[in-house]
Amino acid sequence: MKVAFFDTKPYDKLWFDPMAKESDIKIKYFENKLNDDTAVMAKGYDAVCVFVNDTINAQVIAILAQIGVKLIALRCSGYNNVDFKAAKEHNIKVVRVPSYSPSAVAEHTAALLLAVNRKTHKAYIRTKDSNFNINGLLGFDLAGKTAGIIGTGQIGRMFIDICRGFKMQVIAYDLYPKENSGIDYVTLDELFKRSHVISLHCPLTKETKHLINEQTIQKMQDNVFIINTSRGALIDTTALIEGLKSKKIGGAGLDVYEEESEYFFEDYSNEIIEDDELARLLAFPNVVMTSHQGFFTKEALEAIARVTINNLKEFENGKITNEVVLKDNSIVEKRN
């Protein structure tokens, strides 16, 4: 089986090469992201392997179908960047990695919360400059505060456990509550009203896009902290900036950004950031932003490579697992 691997980073090869060799899968690595211009590079390949910021719209899928690609293998759990209607029309299968390491993302969520609360990012810079003044670094005890968790899949539940370890009160919202989980589910409005910290762990869909917006921010407590390690477009960035400016939002920890595809995973340290909203977020002293690294642990990378290679091998053998399909205008996952 021949696979065109897009948006390649050095760490991808480290984990995929030995597993692909063992499974007799031939991978051609491309540093380019998959999009309308680069899709033709997959000519002669059976499948493409793509990541979160690759573009897999109707036009790209049409090109892939025309040049003979039969499978889109996502090496991630999210699939909001895929046009499933087009994939169905062109009979191209889509598979993903449904779970790799919930601990990795949940722990990074906690790291962002602690950093934005206790200003460790600012303290680090000060002490590196031999400035040991602690004025302006005041935080608050997490113990006794209320954490509102939106989305209670594996990552959300793992973060709930972490919050409980901090002795926080935890409430949650999910369209599909987990039965017999011991989780205190409430309505979204109640979660917004009661939470000192709101953490997002839900997928990006038409229903959840801009879940955090001007109206919902007004329902929140003053000085609320918002943490997002899921998908950037869950938050209306303009509304977030206004909330930070008005001090309605006390701080934000962001591992994702609404328009991240151009910048995240790349080095722009010697260039001017032309995205005004991204530049504005980076300027706030009470915003801690990382570049979509929540998944970035050894355990997670090993799991991503293993499941992706298995998905490819099984497709080659006429079997398909972890498939995501469009059914009755809804996106569902099939596991055979």
List residues with catalytic annotation.
231, 260, 292
**CA 195 remoteness from chain centre:** 22
Report d(CA 180, CA 61) in Å as an integer: 41
